[in-house]
A = this chain, B = another copy of it.
Amino acid sequence: MKRVGFYGRVDPTRIEEYKRRHADVWPEMKQALTKTGWHNYSLFLRPDGLLFGYVEVPESLEASTAAMAHEEVNARWQTWMSELFEGSDVPPDESFIELDEVFHLD
């Protein structure tokens, strides 16, 4: 298992819509995440749109993101989300930037 921290940038003018959609993520989307190894996955949002993610994955964020890229529901979800992200040239989940873990306590 690998613990991953990452960040992204939600458009600050679309924060309420981002919250609404994430309060009610499609069941098929959740199933696809679980199937592709996304475990204990949380997203936190700063009022200016900075998004912080924490997730535990079998191998790497890259591998679990690649596995999601094969799920049809993810293509639909990311297309729907992309309008809420800054710099939406790539699907939001492929724009996340991984952070270095500098400390861990079990």
Contact residues in B for A100 (Cβ distance below 8 Å) = 44-45
Q: Does A46 contact B (CB under 8 A)?
A: yes
Q: Does A22 contact B (CB under 8 A)?
A: yes
Q: How far is the CA of A5 from the CA of B40 in the complex (A)?
A: 13
Q: Does A96 contact B (CB under 8 A)?
A: no
CB distance from A39 to the nearest CB of B (A): 7
Copies in the complex: 2
Contact residues in B for A22 (Cβ distance below 8 Å) = 102-103
Contact residues in B for A30 (Cβ distance below 8 Å) = 105
Partner of A52, one of B40, B52, B105: B52
Query: B41 and A104: CB pair below 8 A?
Result: yes
